Amino acid sequence: MHQLPEAGYLRLPQIIGNPKAKPPIPAVIPVSKSTWWAGVKSGRFPQPVKLGPRVTAWHVDGIRALIERLASGQEAA
């Protein structure tokens, strides 16, 4: 499994990856940006937290719970 911090927040590129970054950021949840936001809107993916006017992040605990739910086959990405 990917190394996630014990606690804190993850930004979107840390979740869905960014192959153009230097060095590339591997995806924890391999979906597109539009699929991610559609999943947030529908409630399939965790709701974000606004840390500032231009900073959106997700609690790492919510991402861990999503990974466990996906791994157990309760939901398909």
pLDDT tens readout for residues 52-69 = 999 999 999 999 999 999
pTM of the model: 0.86
pLDDT in tens, 9-42: 999 999 999 999 999 999 999 999 999 999 999 9
Which residue is it, tokens 């006017």?
A: 53
- Kindly compute the dihedral angle of the four CA atoms of residues 38, 75, 15, 40, in this order, to the nearest 10 degrees: 30
Question: How many other β-carbons are positioned within 10 Å of the β-carbon of residue 15?
Answer: 24
